[in-house]
Structure 1
Amino acid sequence: MTSTPAFVPGLELARRFYTEAVAPLLEEAASGIPHSAARIGPGSEVLGYDTPRSADHEWGPRLQLFLRPRDVSRHAGRIGHVLTERLPKTFHGYPTHFAPTGEDRDIRVMRPTDGPVHHRVEITDVSSWFTDTLGFDPTSTITPADWLRTPTQRLAEVTAGALFHDGLHTLAPARAALRWYPHDLWRYVLACQWQRIAHEEAFVGRCGEVGDELGSAVVAARLTRHLMRLCLLMDRRYPPYGKWLGSAFARTPAGARLTPVLTAALAATDRHERERRLATAYETVARLHNRLGLTDHIDPTTRPYHSRPFRVLRADRFTQALLAHVPDPTIRQLPLPEPPDTEP
């Protein structure tokens, strides 16, 4: 019976796999052909959140190998074949062969084999890989539309991970170009996030006032998510999708302070406690905004919602202040998010 190897974080495993197994074979089979190697894209290990559980699918000794476009057409097949035939069957105790899990898509899992290795070394070129992943090529001009239509999860996946070798001298610059939004767009993205809060901050109280504690709790949960994403954006970190949002938020400067507050807001059983906890969170995040220096100082205290007795921040004040400091009129005039649940 084969014992389970001690867990190695996936990025470290990929780095060793490239250095100790893949690179020597490339030196023999593709000497003189420049390449870059990295582990980026989808995968919990790319964001640094993998655990032994991750090994149940698409995790293990794997990486991307980038060639020049002309070399992909000429040499990718041969290099892939060399890796299939000559990679070790196991690497530091982990199989290098990936077998189908039986699911509809081509999802694979590490399995021992006595035959050729179906490896997970993806061979491609930089422009094609980014275009397939993001819908645009960051080695060319990146437009505002490119930035804004790309989910933050995707931007996190291509800027995190690890670069092991950049013989092409294009992969590192492409990743650097995507490291964060241009300054005007950052202000706009923050303005949009504040606007999402503004749309619903009064509803926690209003739902509770009419006896709808469940509805109040649902709104509070959505506002909590908006605040977590806002903290990540203010810290210049791309918010990941739901599975890793809390893990990413915990690593922000505000995470330790706000996690118990937001947890208490979600656990509250009446709207007054919910409002009180959220008000604390609003004021904390508002003060963090003021420290960024992106706008003039904005009063960070909560207040009644017009004549109604609901505690809100009036987050739209932050939206308008941010937009007022966007000098580019094409960015400043972009539409803001509509209220949720208003579509036909």
Structure 2
Amino acid sequence: MAFINGIELSRRFHFEFIEPLISRHFPNLRYASALIGPGSEVLGYDTKMSADHDWGPRVLLFLQEQEISNFDEVFQCLKSNAPDEFYGYSIDLTQTVITSLPRFLKGKLGMEISEGLQAIDWLTFPSQVLAEIVGGEVFRDDTGQLMSVRKQLQYYPQDIWLFLMASTWNRIGQEEHLALRSGYVGDELGSSIIASRIVRDIMNLCFLMEKRFAPYPKWFGTAFKKLDCANELLPLLLDVQLAANWKVREEALCKAYEYIACKHNQLGITDRIDEEVTPFYDRPFRVIQGSKIAQAITKSINDPTIHKLKEKRLVGGIDQITDNTDFRMFNQWSNSKNPTERNILRLVFDKILE
């Protein structure tokens, strides 16, 4: 059986099964149908291997909140009419989620965005979650609400974008000399570990520069290869990863630094920065002075809260603060209205702003 990618399979599932059935049994129902949320197929990276679990013909159905009483009735209708297979794939209707858009968004983001987003709220949203909301495909949207939300969340507001880039440059600035210092004293393992952290920061910076949400680790490298910069930068980053000693590692890092410095200048968001690496004080290490570039970027931030935050700490957002998978899911820990549970990271930002 030829493999059908998940988006195409779900598109067929909607137009050949879901929509005709709802039109017949619920002709007045206004709803949205889409393939968004978690799943490799939403990002377009699914393969035949993906079909072994949590994959198959499915959609998310968004009903109006006032029609909550229809949720179960619609599901039972789908269940009683579903074939055993669809284009050769078994159907698991538990994967076809029926919900409302506000409930879905609150479960993903931990807040009611209809009440308005403050700038700092964006820093609590993992880029993977945002990619899941704006990725995939919408098959039907009777009210236009789903498309409106996807447009609203399409990318970070300008000042958040600047703050995240500045924070990532600052991370590079904090560690660029450490990868060399550790190697200089014979700690090649430590040097390579720090260099790998820098490589990840450079890759994250490139996602930001090209205004693309970076996915979680499984697809991070795959998505990076689709960026405009990948053809030139990827070989340099591989040289960093494969370097046998710190001097070779430094040479590869320097080439990568100079490339992203040039790419930064092309954005035109600061005065022109020096694209060449320079010595780290009097030591035999070459760096790009990432923290100075960070400070240059922050000069363009206008939002008062983000401006105050950058004066205190360039901590970035949740993706810069931690790579812990469970913590990044903190918005989904509880449905409680207790802000201590729902807004842990927001409390951290509030503490910094004191």
What residue is the counterpart of 1:74 in the other structure?
69
Partner of 1:228: 203
Q: How does 1:46-195 map to 2 (within 5 A)?
A: 46-71=42-67, 73-97=68-92, 118-195=93-170
Q: Could you tell me how far 1:328 is from its partner in structure 2? A: 2.4
1:290-329 matches, within 5 Å, as 290-329=265-304
- State the alpha-carbon separation in 2 of the partners of residues 184 and 281 from structure 1: 26
Code of the aligned partner of 2:87: H
- Cα pair 2:120 2:306 within 8 Å, conserved: no
Q: Are the aligned partners of 1:191 and 1:322 in contact in 2 as well (CA < 8 Å)?
A: yes
**C-alpha deviation, 1:178, in angstroms:** 0.3
Aligned residues: 316
> CA 1:140–1:174 in structure 2 vs 1: closer, same or farther (change >3 Å)?
farther
Q: Any conservation in 2 of the 1:194–1:315 contact (CA below 8 Å)?
A: yes
- Structure 2 SS opposite 1:23: helix
Q: Which residue identity lines up with residue 55 of structure 1 in the other structure?
A: A
Q: 1:70 to 1:288 in 2, by over 3 A?
A: same
Q: In the alignment, does 2:18 pair up with 1:22? A: yes
List runs of 5+ in structure 1 lacking aligned partners.
Answer: 98-117
The counterpart of 1:252, out of the listed 218, 227, 252, is 227
Give the letter for the 1:24 counterpart. P
**Paired AA for residue 59 in structure 1:** W
Q: Which has the higher contact order (CA 8 A, sep 6+)?
A: 2
TM-superposed CA distance for 1:309, in Å, is 1.1
> After the TM superposition, which parts of structure 1 deviate over 6 Å for at least 4 consecutive aligned residues?
338-341
Deviations 1:112-154 (A, max 9, x none): xxxxxx4421101111101101112333411123210111111
SS of the residue 1:308 aligns to: coil
Q: Is the 8 A contact 1:67 1:168 kept in 2?
A: no
CA distance in 1, matches of 2:32, 2:246: 55
Displacement of 1:340 in angstroms is 8.7
Please give the secondary structure, in 2, of the residue aligned with 1:253.
coil
- Structure 1: distance between partners of 2:321 and 2:45: 30
Give the CA deviation at 1:306: 1.2
Mapped partners of 1:332, 1:276: distance in 2: 35
**Equivalent residue letter for 1:37:** S
Output the amino acid matched with 1:189.
L
The residue that corresponds to 2:332 in the other structure is none
The residue type equivalent to 1:64 in the other structure is: L
C-alpha distance in structure 2 between counterparts of 1:14 and 1:137, whole Å: 28
Q: Distance in 2 between matches of 1:142 and 1:337?
A: 20
Q: Quote how far apart the aligned CAs of 1:31 are.
A: 1.0
**1:10 is matched with which residue?**
6
1:37-91 CA distance string (max 9 Å, x none)? 00101000111111111111111101100010011x2211111001111011111
3-state secondary structure, aligned to 2:113: coil
Aligned Cα RMSD in Å? 1.5
- The equivalent of 1:38 in structure 2 is 34
Classify 1:178/1:188 alpha carbon distance in 2 versus 1 (closer, same or farther; 3 Å). same
Unmatched runs of 5 consecutive residues or more in structure 2: 323-354
Q: How high is the TM-score relative to the length of structure 1? A: 0.89
The answer on whether the counterparts of 1:213 and 1:270 sit within 8 Å (CA) in structure 2 is yes
Q: In the TM superposition, what is the alpha-carbon distance from 1:337 to its structure 2 partner?
A: 2.4
Q: Provide the rounded CA distance (Å) in 1 between the counterparts of 2:21 and 2:282.
A: 72
- For 1:111, the equivalent position in structure 2 comes to none
Name whichever structure is richer in helix by fraction: 2
Q: Contact between 1:235 and 1:252, CA under 8 Å: does it hold in 2?
A: yes
**What letter matches 1:136 in structure 2?**
M
Aligned to 1:65, what secondary structure does the other structure show? strand
> CA separation in 2, counterparts of 1:135 and 1:307?
49
State the SS of the aligned residue for 1:179.
coil
Aligned to 1:102: none
Q: Is the 8 A contact 2:196 2:241 kept in 1?
A: yes
Task: Calculate percent identity across the aligned residue pairs.
Answer: 40
TM-score normalised to the size of structure 2? 0.87
Report deviation, 1:169.
1.4
